[in-house]
Every structure is written in structure tokens, then in C-alpha cells.
Amino acid sequence: MSTLDHDPLEAGRVYKSTGALPQKMLRSTVYRAWERSHLQGANPHALQAEKLSILETERLVEQHGYLLNAVQPYFHILSQAAGKEPHAVMLSDRHAVLLGLTGDKQTINTESFPQAGSLLSESVAGANGIGTPLAEENYVEIVTNEHFIDGFHPFTCQGIPIRNEKQEIVGVLSISSQRQDAGKRLKEILLCASHAVEAELLVANLEKDIHHVLVSHPDDYQPLEKLRQDIIQAHHAARLKLEVSSRLVAGNRLDYAKQLLQQAEQSIRTFERQGEIWRNLASNHIGSVETISLTDTIQDLVELLSTEAAIRKVEVVTNWQEEITVITETASLLRRLLRYFLECFEIAGKGGTLEITVHRMLNSENILIRFMPVAVLNTYSVEPTPFTFSLPITIK
């Protein structure tokens, strides 16, 4: 059955009159949500008002202060993207309890609209933009009559779970609008904002980690702190692109907004990957030996150190013929590579070049990695010795 054949309004009428769920009249995601809502006892005629007390809500909000702080800039961005349309941007915890919301006053100050402390799980609120993304563990859009409860029918709601660095769901970011076509306009910026919030959580953890570095290995503090600042600056640039995109979305300049969103999304993904590299560099933890892509790892470090190379005016040249995987412990390899990068930058000097070569050793199951610093003018009294080491290659 095509989407055009779905009729949630008629499905709701049938359900209320017969108690049967007409599967063919609903999108599969919505059908599953209605089935869960039905089985858990949601009332299709009215929201079951389950709300924490003022004191309980204050305690919950305080407990999730880190999440609200991370989301706050994106509340503004998403609300701005909705423009003058009636809307609400909401954040819940992982149990579907509303932690905070923003939007136009006419919408969020309505007496019947859920406020902080309200439970919006499918068991009490039916299919909705908070409870259903939690149940599906994924992005979900509920369009007007696809809501299980009549009171939510004026809204089109979209929600997506927010995950921490362990990929555990910590909440849901959602936006509701009274424009049925809002989904197409707001979906991409909501998805991008959710990833940016996850990156904000990572930024907060990097702040904690730098204090650990200062205490445990102070000799490495300065270079790691500079790298951390470079990573965070890149993330701030992504947030700025999101901010501009939200104004363009509100003005229906969607093509340009989409280009900026794609750039922001790419920057956020790069930040997440570089953040993980940084945490490996900063950690004292020795992991297990594993198979990793040596060439990708070196390329990631080249990108991570691009600002440092630009400041020193050192060109980095890499040379390998194919992707090469090796068997090693990741954190130790990264720290060794970082040390060679920084030492070679120092030797090459302003205007110099760092040549990195990776190749298979003859009659061996090892790979040779070679770092060669080259100054712009050969003023060395003794030719510099390249930094080399070998690793066992993964046999395919």
C-alpha cells in the first residue's frame, strides 16, 4: 500500500468504534506506535495527565543540567527555523519526562500543552514526538492525525533520540509545528542539531579530560591542549553554520540552507572522529591489540594537526599506494605518531616539508613507517635521520 492510501483519520475512527487497529491504513512506524499505545493503555480521547510535582521537576532538571546546557543553543536555532509558525521545541529525558521547552508563547503557554515535568511516554500520550522516538530508538515524524490522541492532531511532531559517547540514549529532542508541511522544512536541521548536541556533550567531556592530562602527564599538556582548542573551534564553526541555516530555513531559502547544513553535518562528524582520536591521545589506558587502518589513522592525524602545520608553515606530504591495515594497540600508536609529527615539524621549520611514507618491507610481514623532515634550505650540519618504525601488517 502506498503512502497515498494511508488514512490515519479513518484508522482512528475505526479504532475508536471497534477497538481494532487497521494496519493497512497506517504507515508501519505509526502502526507499531498505535499498537504499543493500545497495549499500554493510552486513551485515544485524552492525554492522561501524569506530571511530576514542582519540587520533583526542579530536582530532575538539576540532575539533567548538563543535557539542558548542551541543548540550549539548539533550542534557539530550531525555534528560529520554525519562524513565525506556531511551534514548540522540546527536550525530554530518557524516560520521556519533559525537561524543558521553548516556542511561541501562544503555543507553549496554552494550559493543555505539556510543560516541564510532564510524562510523554506512549503509555500516557500515545504516539507522539517524544515517546515514539524513544520506543523506536530512531528519528520519527508523526503527522497530525497520526497522533494516537485527538488533542495532538493539530500538530506535526518530529523527534530524535540524543545519545552520549557510549551510544546510550539520554533524551529526545523534538519539534512540533501546526504546519503539516513543516516536516520537510525542519527535518534536516533537527537531525543536524541532534548531532550537534551530541558533539556538545563530547566537548564537555573533553573539558574534563584536559584536567586529567595536566595531572597525569603534564609534559604532554601543551600540545594536547592546543589540539583540543583546534577541535572545539571547528565545532563552534559548525554551530555558526547551523545558526545561519535556521534563518535561511525560516525565510524559505531552502537550497542554500541545505548546503550549509551539509557543511555543518560534515564538520560535526569530523569533530566526533577527531574528538575520539584526542581522547585516545590523552588517555593512560592501554587497550587490546586490534586491526586498524594505519593509513586512515595517519590521515586523521594529518587533518587533526592541519592548524598546527599551517601555523608553522610546514607542508605535510603522504605517500602510500593503498590502504594498509596493521595489528597494534591504537592509543600507543597514536601517541607515537603524534610525537613524530611534532618533532618533525620542529626540525623542518618554517617553509619546510614533512614526508610520510608507508610501504611493505621486502620478504617481511611488516610495514615500514617513515617520517622525514625536510627544511626549506638545507642548512643542516648533519643530515637529519628519518624517524622509522615497523608494525605487523594484517594478512588478507
Regions of the chain where pLDDT drops below 50: none
- Burial zone of 20 (CB within 10 Å; 0-12 exposed, 13-18 middle, 19+ buried): exposed
For the chain, the distance separating the N- and C-terminal CA atoms, rounded to the nearest angstrom, is 46
Q: How far is 299 from 231, CA to CA, in rounded Å? A: 16
At 373, the amino acid letter reads P
Q: What is the dihedral of CA 119, 123, 126, 131, to 10 degrees?
A: 50
pLDDT value at residue 3 = 58
Is residue 338 within 8 Å of 345, Cβ to Cβ?
no
Per-residue pLDDT tens digits for 159-202: 999 999 899 999 999 999 988 777 778 999 999 999 999 999 99
The residue with cell 602527564 is 217
Buried-exposed string 361-387: b where 16+ CB fall within 10 A, e elsewhere: eeeeeebebbbbbbbeeeeeeeeeebb
Query: What is the value of pTM for the model shown?
Result: 0.84
Is residue 23 within 8 Å of 52, Cβ to Cβ?
no
pLDDT value at residue 218 = 80
Is residue 316 within 8 Å of 238, Cβ to Cβ?
no
Is residue 158 within 8 Å of 129, Cβ to Cβ?
yes
- Burial zone of 7 (CB within 10 Å; 0-12 exposed, 13-18 middle, 19+ buried): middle
Buried-exposed string 309-329: b where 16+ CB fall within 10 A, e elsewhere: beebebebeeebeeebbbebe
pLDDT value at residue 156 = 94
Is residue 26 within 8 Å of 8, Cβ to Cβ?
yes
pLDDT value at residue 396 = 56
Q: How far is 176 from 182, CA to CA, in rounded Å? A: 9
- Burial zone of 247 (CB within 10 Å; 0-12 exposed, 13-18 middle, 19+ buried): middle
Q: What is the dihedral of CA 166, 168, 169, 173, to 10 degrees?
A: 10
Task: Write out the chain in H/E/C secondary structure.
Answer: CCHHHCCHHHHHHHHHHHCCCCHHHCCHHHHHHHHHHHHCCCCCCCCCCCECCHHHHHHHHHHCHHHHHHHHHHHHHHHHHHCCCCEEEEEEECCCEEEEEEECHHHHCCCCCCCCCEECCHHHHCCCCCHHHHHHCCCEEEEHHHCCCHHHCCCEEEEEEEECCCCCEEEEEEEEECCCCHHHHHHHHHHHHHHHHHHHHHHHHHHHHHHHHHHHCHHHHHHHHHHHHHHHHHHHHHHHHHHHHHHHHHCCCHHHHHHHHHHHHHHHHHHHHHHHHHHHHHCCCCCCCEEEEHHHHHHHHHHHCHHHHHHHCCEEEEECCCCCEEEECHHHHHHHHHHHHHHHHHHHCCCCEEEEEEEECCCCCEEEEEEEEECCCCCCCCCCCCEEEEEEECCC
